[in-house]
Structure 1
């Protein structure tokens, strides 16, 4: 007998009239779950700042139809799906999460392969009951995991998810770097070493932990927005959104600015995503001060401080654009700091309403015997 036939019906909510076979006790997130949710995110395999409720709070009220899902086993949270309902390409999509860099099915570290298969099954079943036509998620790159592994992505692929896009992100493994600054700089490309030394020689200085509010934030955002305008884009966040984020997560946003003769000429904003990863979210410089080379100095300073504080990775973000375009110059700049490339995948399942577990998706018996070969 196939293992799927052994599970018992479960009603998702009191107002839910559908009886869908489920492996786990499942409920939608409410404000009563806030502390428990954030505690689970901090302890989960892939959890990060972008999955915490304080991060979702910075979005204006009504911008997203949040529908976060909680999976329990014996009363304890074993997995979560941070998401929102929205229309996408004419389909009712449950996206994880449209207002965050990363989402996906977040699991407890000790969840086994067979239980991940059951979690994905239950996720799709709930989506089907909710009238969802598409599931979409962008999991964090593998180096965000507390333990490196591809179990969730492997299972989603087996369930029928496909890659909507595969972005290219770059990060530096801080554990491989020497602590001494002179030895750290020696790991960089020769042009980058020269640029850093030039900035220091010219008298460029750096101020850390600048307040992301008031006039200081005005200066920061002016540099950032003008820098982005030169390449025909705008910052992901408005000035007020950055201020709101800094108020909601003050220990997880760290801004620094480079100064020359008392004037701010460049800025960087790092996110402390979890215990392992610091992410460079914004870096920008005043074009008139480009010859002073403040950006390489700011990046080096951030890498040095992340390394000293025990982070494992410094994430420099993606170097790709829509339609599979590579931002070649940006990728090359990052490579000068000995950064390594990784996938940042976005996955979708478009046949939710007609989905059936594929053949051989689950073992033939509910209890799997250990096979020592």
Structure 2
């Protein structure tokens, strides 16, 4: 979802210089790379799309290291051709992948890329669990925060299949929070 133009397109068209790349293997789409060209420290840089929390490279499922390395080589080659001296990717955490893996990270490090920052990701498996059993699996501090929010009159509603209107409300809150944080 982070790489779809519909998701990225809420910014005005002239705000960023989009550079979305498609990588083919044997005439079949194998990887998609989304990003923009910006100025960073007086140098042209290819960065994950600022309109997305995560971005960069989307590989085919069950990607082999050799193929991931070839995709990174293609990205670096293309960026050299466009005179971009910096590549800054914000990769999604492994749980966001349909099949969690770290092949891309390993390929990037093997190609000489470095971590600028690392983030910790926690996952709560929801499968088909009822809200009460999910609540019991949350960390103690999170449960205390939920109880405090409920005391203040806030509620949590479990929605199995959210409508477009419900998603729109959530998305508006996300945009407002990101704006307050300067993201």
Asked if these proteins are the same fold (TM beyond 0.5), I'd say: yes
Does residue 192 (structure 1) correspond to residue 106 (structure 2)? The answer is: no
Matching residue of 1:253 = 167
Does residue 50 (structure 1) correspond to residue 29 (structure 2)? The answer is: no
What secondary structure is seen at the aligned counterpart in 1 of 2:117?
Answer: strand
Matching residue of 2:48 = 96
Task: Show the 5 A alignment for 1:8-19.
Answer: none
Aligned mate of 1:75, from 21, 27, 35:
27
Matching residue of 1:115 = 67
Q: Which runs of 5+ in 2 are unaligned?
A: none
Indicate if the aligned counterparts of 1:78 and 1:111 stay in contact, CA closer than 8 A.
no
Indicate if the aligned counterparts of 2:131 and 2:158 stay in contact, CA closer than 8 A.
no
What secondary structure is seen at the aligned counterpart in 1 of 2:78?
Answer: helix
1:190, CA displacement in angstroms?
8.0
CA-to-aligned-CA distance 1:218-270 (integer Å, 9 cap, x gap): xxxxxxxxxxxxxxxxxxxxxxxxxxxxxxxx489353xxxxxxxxxxxxx26
The normalised TM-score by structure 1 is 0.40
The normalised TM-score by structure 2 is 0.77
How big is the alpha-carbon RMSD for the aligned residues of Structure 1 and Structure 2? 3.5
1:61, CA displacement in angstroms?
2.2
Structure 1 71/205 Cα, relative in aligned 2: closer, same or farther at 3 Å? closer
Structure 1 83/208 Cα, relative in aligned 2: closer, same or farther at 3 Å? same
Q: Which runs of 5+ in 1 are unaligned?
A: 1-48, 210-249, 256-268, 272-279, 285-320, 322-373
Structure 1 174/205 Cα, relative in aligned 2: closer, same or farther at 3 Å? closer
Counterpart CA distance in 1 for 2:30 and 2:72 is 12
CA-to-aligned-CA distance 1:89-138 (integer Å, 9 cap, x gap): 11110112222111122111133211111111111111111111111100
Indicate if the aligned counterparts of 1:93 and 1:134 stay in contact, CA closer than 8 A.
yes
Matching residue of 2:116 = 164
Matching residue of 2:90 = 138
Indicate if the aligned counterparts of 1:186 and 1:193 stay in contact, CA closer than 8 A.
no
Structure 1 70/196 Cα, relative in aligned 2: closer, same or farther at 3 Å? same
What secondary structure is seen at the aligned counterpart in 2 of 1:163?
Answer: coil
Q: Which segments of structure 1 move beyond 6 Å, counting only runs of 4 or more?
A: 206-209
Indicate if the aligned counterparts of 2:55 and 2:89 stay in contact, CA closer than 8 A.
yes
1:73, CA displacement in angstroms?
2.0
What secondary structure is seen at the aligned counterpart in 2 of 1:160?
Answer: coil
Counterpart CA distance in 1 for 2:16 and 2:145 is 46
Matching residue of 1:174 = 126
Counterpart CA distance in 2 for 1:153 and 1:79 is 15
What secondary structure is seen at the aligned counterpart in 2 of 1:117?
Answer: helix
- Which one scores higher on RCO, CA 8 angstroms, separation ≥ 6? 1
Indicate if the aligned counterparts of 1:185 and 1:193 stay in contact, CA closer than 8 A.
no
Aligned mate of 1:61, from 13, 26, 39:
13
